[in-house]
Amino acid sequence: MNKSLFCSLALFTAFIPLNIAAAETVNMTNPTGPVIDLSVRETIKVKPDMVTLYFTISAQDKDKNKAILAADQKLGQAIAAAKSAGIMEEDIVSDQKNISPDYDYDTTPYKVKGYSAHRNLNIIIKDIADIEKVNNIANNIIKSGASSLNYTEFDLLNKEPYLQKATETALLNAKKRANWHAKFAGYSGVKLLNVKENIESEAMATRDTVEMAYEAAVEAVAPEPANFMPSDIEITAALVLAYEMTP
């Protein structure tokens, strides 16, 4: 059997992860035996332990300043509800104050009949073991002033242990595959020459995002209560490795 047939012609494989942590280890020793290039992926699923809630707060009035004031008041009430639920101040973020005219489309030309003011409010909850508690917090914030819960984002407070676990498993699997190739080709083992690492986390990429249709019009009834059911987060280690076959 021609041992050179087991030498891969391509050293690099392209990865396009949505969020990447990259590392590289290189052995500069010139290989004397055939080289095996492998691409391996290992994915683990993890339960999320935190969530970010993204709210919109809206208010309408014929007077622009009164609309802004009303939105600010609702924002203050929603923040107070979050704090009363035990959310720390550093986990409460409000931004983007927007004001836009409302038109009467039954007139020609269209006339401004009032204004809508909008604020964004993001709430981070770092303990979601009791998901019913998370539901209650979201519902109380809506009742206190938030107009809608746009979506939620589940994630992990500390991804490092899971990234390490996925990488270690990928390395072990790569070593097994490389040894199989080497022994099939008549060699006794392999020596690692090069590693390229891509870490992909669904928590950062697609994340566990749930579109919550809680759109609330001015005269609409209260939005439907929140009922979160978070799914697992996938963390993937994708490795490109080069091994030298050894006698």
**At 114, is the secondary structure helix, strand, or coil?**
strand
HSE toward the beta carbon, residue 153, CA cutoff 13 A: 15
Taking only the tens place, the pLDDT of each residue in 44-92 is 999 999 999 999 999 999 999 999 999 999 999 999 999 999 999 999 9
Measured distance CA(201)–CA(207) in Å, rounded: 8
Instruction: Say if residue 178's pLDDT is above 90.
Output: yes
Confidence category of residue 3, pLDDT binned at 50, 70, 90: very low
Q: When comparing pLDDT for 22 and 242, which is higher?
A: 242
Taking only the tens place, the pLDDT of each residue in 183-219 is 999 999 999 999 998 766 654 333 333 333 333 333 3
CA dihedral for 69, 71, 75, 77, sign (positive or negative)? positive
Across 88-224, where does the E strand assignment appear? 92-104, 111-125, 148-155, 189-201, 208-211
- The single-letter DSSP state of residue 5 is G
Q: What is the Cα gyration radius of the chain? A: 27
What residue ranges define each of the domains in the chain, with the CATH number in brackets?
18-48+158-208+222-247 (3.30.110.170), 50-155 (3.30.70.2970)
Identify the pLDDT of residue 214: 34
Identify the pLDDT of residue 24: 47
- Could you tell me what percent of the chain has a pLDDT over 90? 60
Q: Residue 219: phi, psi to the nearest 5?
A: -100, 10
Taking only the tens place, the pLDDT of each residue in 115-150 is 999 999 999 999 998 888 899 999 999 999 899 888
The answer to whether the CB of 155 falls within 8 A of the CB of 124 is: no
Taking only the tens place, the pLDDT of each residue in 146-166 is 998 888 889 999 999 999 999
Measured distance CA(160)–CA(168) in Å, rounded: 12
Identify the pLDDT of residue 31: 80
CB atoms within 10 A of CB 235: 23
Taking only the tens place, the pLDDT of each residue in 90-101 is 999 998 889 999
The predicted model scores a pTM of: 0.71
The answer to whether the CB of 54 falls within 8 A of the CB of 150 is: yes
